[in-house]
Amino acid sequence: MNARLHCTRWLALCLFSTTLFAASPDGVVAVSHPAAAAAGARMLAQGGNAIDAAAAVQFALNVVEPQSSGIGGGGFMLVHLAKTGETFIVDSRERAPAAASADMFAPDGLAMAFPLASTSGLAVGVPGTLRGIDTALRRWGTKKLADTLAPAIELAGHGFRVNRFLADDIAHDDGRTQLHPETAATFRPGGVPLAEGDWLVQPDLAKTLKLIAAKGPDAFYRGPLARAIVKAQQRSRSELGDAGRGRMTLADLAQYQVVIRQPLIGHYRGWTLEGMPPPSSGGLTVLQMLNLLQRFPLGDTAQGYGFDSPQTLHVMIEAMRLAFADRAVWIGDDDTMPVPQRGLLHPGYLATRAAQIKPDSRMDTPQAGDPTPWDSSTTVRPAPSRVHEESPHTTHFAIVDRWGNVVSVTTTIEYTWGTGITVPGYGFLLNNELTDFNLAPSADAVAGNPGANDVAPYKRPRSSMAPLLLLKQDKPVAAFGSPGGATIINSVLNVTLNLVDHGMTLQQAIDAPRLSVTQAAGQVSCEGGQVFMQPAFSVGTQDALRKLGHIGLGEAGTNGCQASIGSVQAVAIDLATGVHEGAADPRREGTVIRVKAPQD
């Protein structure tokens, strides 16, 4: 995809640049795909604000990253308003239908195999993306929904060149683009998977987006399109029979509601952080880890806590293990079952958890703690959730406009390609978000376990998405987030530490290699091997971690850091100069566009 061609076509009246990094007092868009970045820049160039641009980016991503997000899914939008200093969270996470039940993925007492459950209609949650975008536009945007759909309609109707990321996801799809004829016809025409450089036109999707532009969101949530969604999610895998059919009804679609939430607020070394509350575990888990790390002098090379030091990585690993142990037990949809948010972040509770981190030794596998003495909202201790390993796909983008409004959005259809079900005649994929619930129910009345992340009617499954706003003296400084399933949380943590403790620039903080642990048992993943990931985690550092007992790094003397973790897009505001910056992740085709918007 040639981003400059798209920008030239759409932004002829504007000064702009496309790159991995840009700085400007005007609008800045940071997105994982250049064509979607250009869609957002088009809104800014036409005088729109960050919310308008975010809407255009989301719709364009449905076209160019269909394997990761779209109107068949959901997500979370963080909105910071410059005029009032307020921050809001638009929660458009998918919901379980009214007929959902805790045992629906385990009808005979045993959980369905994830590959089967996740590619059947039973996994489809009621989509929220379109309602979320429309809600944000109505509250804070300046453009009509149809205006923000225009770039995506053009992309779907005229087509675009397949990039290497989309081509790779088609080639290595776990069969998901081959299971249903409509999906195969789009991404494997004639049985041949699309390759990098191929031209992809999606006329059915263009038709759908035009319909929504003409008639609004009700065209999606009611009427013929809604009926097509309900019928499509009634598909099952032959191995599951009727048990794999979706339970969504027309009433579920018509009754879907977005929730506007207050951000979760925390503090770290004099900085304020605003992030996602439940049903996402992202904000709570990031803030927990930061608080667990406060007592260590990260960034102080004289004390052995530089970026690549064994001490720094060791305490990061231990903080991740403790926080993920708590996440597995305590966090679910707070609207249906109270989450002990105050307790999990209470200094008294965190002190008991942080005391388990020893600078010179690895702890045994930690269990979840008990925050209930510090939080009266929950009095029972649930058991660990039993969910599958989350997909590394999803997508994130960030925008700041010329007025200083900031938007940070993480959006998904869950696993790569979602269910693999394309709604016939309408050209978009359906999510498999309900497999983010426990596949086998964990509730146990005798043990006092309420099943915090068990399936229930209208409930939202736990997420890892973590759009984050970093503030200094109540002024926004940076907004960022990442895809990556459970590793989202650790990507956001890595970037935060790089900015605050290691003094990196925004682009350096994103480029630097990341480390991730998503289970209490402590299997370590880390990045390396690509030129832009500097400074690398040295083999000597990895050997030091091996000697401490950390697992997942392979044999001594070898480079065990070979993973690819996340794709962070970010914007920032320099408080001293007012300059707006953007930085994008080279792990995907990250693109930053700077827009010189028309003067008022």
Q: Please answer whether residues 149 and 212 qualify as being in contact, where contact means their C-beta atoms are separated by less than 8 angstroms.
A: yes
Does 11 have pLDDT greater than 70? no
Asked if residue 66 is part of any domain, the answer here is yes
Asked if residue 183 is part of any domain, the answer here is yes
Q: Please answer whether residues 571 and 400 qualify as being in contact, where contact means their C-beta atoms are separated by less than 8 angstroms.
A: yes
Provide the token pair at 536. 């690398």
Does 463 have pLDDT greater than 80? yes
**Token pair 């690895």 in the structure block, residue:** 362
Asked if residue 580 is part of any domain, the answer here is no
Does 2 have pLDDT greater than 50? no
The 10s digit of each residue's pLDDT in 175-203 is: 999 999 999 999 999 999 999 999 999 99
The 10s digit of each residue's pLDDT in 29-78 is: 999 999 999 999 999 999 999 999 999 999 999 999 999 999 999 999 99
Q: CA nearest 482: which of 494, 470, 500, 499?
A: 494
Angle at which helices 203-215 and 50-64 cross, to 10°:
150
Summary count for the chain: helices (H), strands (E): 19, 19
Q: What percent of the chain has pLDDT over 70?
A: 92
* The pLDDT value given to residue 376: 77
Asked if residue 549 is part of any domain, the answer here is no
Active site residues: 394
Model-level pTM?
Answer: 0.93
For 179, phi and psi rounded to 5 degrees?
A: -75, -30
Which residue range forms the structural domain that includes residue 195? 57-76+98-260+395-461
Q: Please answer whether residues 513 and 491 qualify as being in contact, where contact means their C-beta atoms are separated by less than 8 angstroms.
A: no
Provide the token pair at 505. 């620039």
* The pLDDT value given to residue 258: 97
Asked if residue 329 is part of any domain, the answer here is no
**Across 348-483, where does the E strand assignment appear?**
395-400, 406-412, 468-472, 475-481
Furthest-apart CA pair in the chain: how many Å? 68
* The pLDDT value given to residue 383: 54
Per the structure, the count of domains in the chain is 1
Does 384 have pLDDT greater than 90? no
Question: Rounded to an integer, what distance in angstroms lies between the CA atom of residue 357 and that of residue 353?
Answer: 8
* The pLDDT value given to residue 530: 87
Asked if residue 210 is part of any domain, the answer here is yes
* The pLDDT value given to residue 382: 53
Asked if residue 154 is part of any domain, the answer here is yes
Residues 6+ apart with CB under 8 A from 237: 116, 119, 120, 179, 244
* The pLDDT value given to residue 599: 58
Asked if residue 583 is part of any domain, the answer here is no
Exposure string over 572-593, b if 16+ CB within 10 A, otherwise e = bbeeeeeebbbbbbebbbbbbb
For 278, phi and psi rounded to 5 degrees?
A: -55, 145
The 10s digit of each residue's pLDDT in 335-347 is: 888 899 999 999 9
What is the β-pairing status of strands 525-526 and 16-19?
unpaired
Task: Residue 175: count other Cβ atoms within 10 Å of its Cβ.
Answer: 10
Question: Rounded to an integer, what distance in angstroms lies between the CA atom of residue 337 and that of residue 348?
Answer: 23
In 3-state terms, what secondary structure has residue 201? coil
* The pLDDT value given to residue 328: 87
| Mean pLDDT, residues 302-312 taken together | 96
